[in-house]
Amino acid sequence: MHDVKDGAVARPSTLSRRTFLKTAGVVGAAAVLPMNAGSVGAAGRPEELATVLDISQCIGCGACVEACREINGHKHPKPEKPFPEMFPKRVQAEDWTERRFTDDRLTPFNWLYIQTAAGEWNGKPFELHIPRRCLHCQNPPCANLCPWGAALRQADGIVRINEKICLGGGKCRDVCPWEIPQRQTGVGLYLDLMPRIAGNGVMYKCDRCYQRVAQGHEPACIEVCPMHIQHIGPRSEMLELARKLAADMDGYVYGAEENGGANTFYVSPVPFDVLNATLQTGPGRPHLKPVQDVMAKAENLTWALVAAPLAGIAAGLLTGARAMAQKESGHE
């Protein structure tokens, strides 16, 4: 469905910033207004924003990580201690306050980190740096399956967690193919409900600097990068750019099909399975494996939810008509 043919596409010059601002402005002003034809999707609504990261250009300086912390610091957790005791005992508090400066993995205080892949491919050594954060899936299980309405996907494709109501149950992390969201205990709405028996804090992740984007600015990590490795703009244009960059370097794209399509495309000169094999992965350190569309099954079932009541109505009309006919013709 999201398949776009590789091939000779003219590289859009400086497109990303210009169209991005156009898109962001309109999306920010009115999430439902259609825009210029170029960026209106098939459904007639503004196209989602996507980012391209050319990891061949990243020097691993960490400026983006710093900028993310600084710009989004006011959204970081401010937990109250001591934490309420939780029941049953197996429920552990997750506390990052002592490790708030950890920057070699994702944490509630660190929504972006630089992953390094080093090894050998095609007989040549490589060392590549990969800025890792939420990929902003097109059909995000974290948002679809949040039972509480705290995780959501905006019309501009940004997936974020409403920290005012998140209870920190952590289902979003369990269902995310990359286990991106990170928990901080002792903060959020659960403290005002039944802190002992339900909830465990608030989940945090990259929110694509949604306030800045709404005002027409670029996300902090994109703006600050000295190598300009990231681009942001309407998804179709970004996908085209990613494919073009990949074709130019005889490289590969990650994120176009993963989990049914993300709004983040990594471009690498080395295949992603080779990169993945050299990565240190684990909690807070996502992999680069291929990912099936985890929402596909449920999405396919949507038709059943439409067909079932229609079938019920049809059966009801039939049975009703038969019952009436029987009554009129006199026999029971």
Residues that bind ligand SF4 (CB under 6 A): 58-64, 67-68, 71-72, 111-112, 114, 129, 131, 133-137, 140-142, 159, 176, 178, 180-181, 205-209, 219-221, 225, 227, 229
278 lines the binding site for another protein (CB under 8 A) = no
13 lines the binding site for another protein (CB under 8 A) = no
Beta carbon of residue 231, minimum distance to another protein (angstroms, whole number) = 22
Query: Considering beta carbons, is residue 108 or 260 the nearer one to another protein?
Result: 260
| Phi-psi category of residue 130: left, alpha or beta, with phi > 0 → left and psi -120 to 50 → alpha | beta
Residue choice 8, 301, 329, 330 for contact with another protein (CB under 8 A): 301
User: Residues in contact with another protein, total (CB under 8 A)?
Assistant: 54
Residue choice 310, 325, 328, 329 for contact with another protein (CB under 8 A): 310
Query: Considering beta carbons, is residue 137 or 241 the nearer one to another protein?
Result: 137
Query: Considering beta carbons, is residue 242 or 294 the nearer one to another protein?
Result: 294
Taking CB within 5 to 8 Å according to partner kind, which of ligand SF4, another protein, none is near residue 213? none
Query: Considering beta carbons, is residue 136 or 244 the nearer one to ligand SF4?
Result: 136
Query: Considering beta carbons, is residue 200 or 268 the nearer one to another protein?
Result: 200
